[in-house]
Amino acid sequence: MGRMESFHTVFREHKFVNILDNPGSADLSAYVDFPSIKHSAEEASENVTVHGPMTQSQFLGSLGINFRVDALLQNCDDEQAESLRTGYWRLVGDGEAPFWEEPDEQTPIGMGERYLTLAIVNRNQGTPAPFQ
């Protein structure tokens, strides 16, 4: 296997923090060399296929997150709807304000374009649903 490098970032409340600052209370992120992982997996075995990477937004979209959110919004109060929209935007957004509000400090930073998904599967099992 070739040498793979990653860079780690730690976030709390949408700001960079030291990795040792109050451990367990922040999100750890890593910059992954997806092309190297894909190449290594394909070289390691003829029995695997690699799908992706695709953005988290594309991945969750292909799994039907938009339909699920629409269904949930039909049966909730205003407070639940706001929480649902905020959570949805955080998962699929791209760092810009969602279409229903103006940008401000309370707008969550979207992870939809920042995070990627890759699937390594047995060739005989076909293509995973999100990658079809």
Question: For every one of its 132 residues, what pLDDT tens digit does the chain have, with 9 covering 90 and above?
Answer: 444 444 455 556 656 666 667 766 666 667 789 999 999 999 999 999 999 999 999 999 999 999 999 999 999 999 999 999 988 988 888 765 454 455 555 555 677 888 899 999 999 999 999 999
Spatial separation of the C-alpha atoms in residues 31 and 18, rounded to whole Å: 16
The number of folded domains in the chain is 1
* 17 inside domain: no
* 51 inside domain: no
Q: What tokens were used for 17?
A: 């923090």
Domain range for residue 84? 56-131
* 107 inside domain: yes
* 120 inside domain: yes
3-class SS string, 16-41 = ECCCCCCCCCCEEEEECCHHHHHHHH
Spatial separation of the C-alpha atoms in residues 45 and 12, rounded to whole Å: 39
